[in-house]
Structures are given as structure tokens and as C-alpha cells.
Chain A
Amino acid sequence: MIAGRIFTFWTMIGLFLIVGLALQRAKVRAPWIRRIPGLEAVEEAVGRATEMGRPVFYSPGGGDITDADAIQSMAGIEVLSHVARLTSKYNTGLICGVRQANLYAVADETVRQVYTEEGKLDEYKPEMVRFLSPEQFAYAAGCIGIMHREKVGAAILVGFFQAEALMLAEAATQGGAITIGGTTRMYQLPFFVAACDYCLIGEEIFTAGAYLSKDPLKLGTVVAQDIGKIIALVAILVGAVLASAGSKWLPQLLGK
């Protein structure tokens, strides 16, 4: 095994076991997870856009699906899938602005497949998912232009965002749209909190797929996340006590 990755390996094995146990338990009894206002608001946002006769704008962020931010992009695709299902049911317009070419292919296929499943393939249009630009600010300019021209009724921004986060949220708010933002990026979260009507903070974007689908197995993995957090909390407390006593055992263990 590669030195420096031993502890990470066993932590991951431990997490996999916890997820496995949580999945077994979820098969017996569907787990309960707390209400997440940002995700509850997705249906409200699409509903409001429908009442206003305006389209919904969706951005899965600027991350790709081949790098370290892929999981955030995939979480964005999970939410896009749900939003597309709602827009197809309500016959509401959907515009998804994409920055990465790889993600464009996935987003386009996701929306097309959802419309097919809902029996609304005739209402699916290729311009629903638009590749704008891999350049950060060209992408932001493209999204803002779409929001203003199309007068969107709701803007849902979930995924990996950089400096464009505030630009998109502000443009949507100034256009009178209801805004929902979500990311795990620490630098962009304050911007979303300040500018959006609802905000998904950190791990909440990863629970979106499970929360919105109500699938007991998916919810089981969310419970496993919470168990992991409890273990992390205990490790922090133990580490604090050991560090106060002058022991370096825990940092050495983490570095193995």
C-alpha cells in the first residue's frame, strides 16, 4: 500500500461498511431525514415560474465530471433531473446553461431522458440545454444574458461555482426570479447565502438526489453520512484531549 494513504484507505473501508449497514437497515425501515428548506423550495420555484409563465433557469456549475469537483457536478445533475421532471409535468420552459463540454453531454441526455419518461418527448427541445463557454466569465455573461432576455421566473444553481456564483444569483434576483443556490465551495457559500432566496449549504447538495426521490436506499446513505459525522466529532474531541495532554499519536496516525 502507498505510504501516506493507509489511514485514508481504512477510513474509506470503514465508511463503506457503515454505508452497507445503513443500506441493510434502510431495506427494513425507511430512514427519516430532517427537512431541507432549499430542496423543498425547488417545487415552489418551478411552480412560481409556471404561474408567471416564465422559464426556469438551471446551472449545474462550472465543474467538470473528470476532476476533483465531479461529485458536485453529479449532484447538480441529480437536481437537474428533478427540475426537468417538474418542468415537464407543469409544461414549463427549462433552460440549462452548461460550462463544461463533458457535463453538457450528460445534462442534455438527462433532460431528454426525463422528458421521454414523462411522455413529453415532443416538448423536449435541444436548446433547453445550452453549452455556453468553458471560459468562466464568458459563461457567466452567457447565463446572465439568458436570464435577462428570457425573463426567467426561477434560477436554480447547484454544483461547483467560483466567482460567477454571485453574478448569477444577483442577476436572477434583480430580474425578479426566485433563486436557489447550493455548493460546497467555502468561498462562494457566503455569496449564495447573501444573494439567494434559499441556500443549500455544503453536504446538503449531496443529499438532494436521496431527499427528492425519497428512495429508502439512497436515504440510507445519508444516514451513513450522519454516522460518519458523529465519528468525526468524536475523533475531534479525542484529538483535542490528546493534543492538550501533549500526545502526537492522532496526527501521526492520520499521516500514515
Chain B
Amino acid sequence: MKRELPIGIAGLMSVIMLVEYFFNVPWLQNFAKDLRDWSTIVSAFALAFAAVNLTLLHTRNIAIKRSGWQYSIVMIACMFSFVVFGIFFGRTSAGFKFLWDAGLVPLSSAFYAMLVFQIATASYRAFRARNIDAALLLIAGVLVMLGKAPVGAAMWGGFVPITDWIMNVPNLAANRGIMIGAALGTVATGLRIMLGLDRAYLGRSE
């Protein structure tokens, strides 16, 4: 029963949401809206549960002075600053906006900017022509880079149509193939969850 009940609930809710998507049944649409509201409430509890995990983990780091424990102090201070300013002063308060605009946004932007170096190192490894596949990747990559960068068109006008062909024919064909496969995989996985064949979310997949 402990096993069948959650599977049954998951299956039933999935069927309700599917029927509501395809058919115009007012009472079912109201019920589906309630289900969505419940999921928002459950999410709020899950966030509290997750915040407790984060706090316990970092307070333990500080207590046993694990390597890098100082960062745990910064993490807890930042998290609770956001909580205090957000709950007691509101998200439009000067304190909350300062934390957001002067803390989170520039740090996120700086971190995103580092992506360019990671692209460079990953490209260097991937573009080494060790085999036929890597050689093809290298040739296609160089041609597309020259076609997309202004300097490529200035060197030779042919780079642009070649790039367009690579992007619109082989690249788009592969993209669509992968997308069709992924869409069918999504339906099949959804059905497995509805039928209770995929039970990893209950911790019993095998």
C-alpha cells in the first residue's frame, strides 16, 4: 500500500491534467487550477526544507572548522540577510534592493563572463583533430566562426553562404532529429511515470 498509493495518486493526477489540457470541462479546469495552487504551496514547504538543509550543512562546517569554513559564515550571513530584508522590509525595500543590485547581480554577471574562458578551453580540447569526427568538428567550427565574425566576410565573401548552409541544412536536420527523439522520449517517460514503471522518485527504481 505504501508503494501503490503514491503511484496511484501520481497516475490519477497525470490523467486529470492531461484531460484538462485537451477538453473544455469547466469543473475539471477548476480542479486542475487547484492542483497547480497546491503544487505552489508544496513548493513553499520544499523551499523551507531545503533552506534547513543548507543551514545545517554550513553550521556543521563552521562547528567542526572544515576546510573553507569561513565561506560558510559568508553564505549563512548572505542567506539570512536576504530572508530578513525580504520578509520584514519587503522586496522593494532599499536594503533588499542593495543586496540584490550590489551583490547578486554583479556576482552573477562576473560568473557568467567567465564562460568565455571555459568555452576557449573546451573548444581547444574538442577541436584537436585526433580522429575523423573531431576533424569534421574543427573544419565546421572554423568555417562557422569565420562566417559569423565580420573579419571572415572581409577576408572572403564565400564564408557567409557556407556558414548559412552548415547552420540551415546539416545542423538544422540534426537538431530536428534530436528534438523529435526528445519529444517522443518525453511522452514515453511521462507514460512510464503514469503507469508506475519509473519509480525512482519513490526511491525504488529497480
Contacts and interface: CB of A to CB of B under 8 A. Distances in A.
B178 A163 contact: no
Interface in A95-134: 98, 101-102, 104-106, 108-114, 116-117, 126-127, 129-132
A5 interface: yes
A127 B53 CA distance: 8
B149 interface: no
B125 interface: yes
Given A163-B115, A167-B114, 5 more contacts: A101-B43, A126-B57, A203-B185, A206-B182, A218-B197
Contacts, number: 199
Interface of A: 1-2, 5, 8-9, 12, 15-16, 19, 65-66, 71, 74-75, 77-78, 80-82, 85, 98, 101-102, 104-106, 108-114, 116-117, 126-127, 129-132, 135-138, 140-141, 145, 149, 163, 166-167, 169-170, 173-174, 184, 186, 189, 191, 193-195, 201-203, 205-207, 209-210, 213, 215, 217-218, 221-222, 224-225, 228-229, 232
A75 B182 CA distance: 12
Contact of A203 (B56, B119, B182, B190): B182
SS class, residues of chain B in contact with chain A = helix
A209 B112 contact: no
Contacts of A2: 21-24
Given A105-B49, A209-B200, A229 B181 contact: yes
A131 B54 contact: yes
A193 B185 contact: no
Interface string B46-75: 110111011011001000000110010000
B185 A207 contact: yes
A101 B49 contact: yes
17 contacts: A9-B22, A66-B43, A71-B190, A77-B200, A101-B51, A110-B201, A113-B204, A129-B53, A130-B54, A131-B54, A149-B68, A167-B114, A169-B122, A186-B178, A193-B126, A205-B185, A224-B188
Contacts of A140: 111
B205 A217 contact: no
A130 B57 contact: yes
B182 to A, nearest CB: 4
Nearest to B114: A167
A194 B125 contact: yes
A225 B203 contact: no
A143 to B, nearest CB: 12
Nearest to B43: A102
A148 B23 CA distance: 51
A78 B21 CA distance: 27
Contacts of B51: 101, 131
B136 to A, nearest CB: 12
Contact of B189 (A75, A166, A194): A75
B123 A194 contact: yes
A136 B189 CA distance: 26
B108 A138 contact: yes
B154 interface: no
Contact of B122 (A71, A106, A195): A195
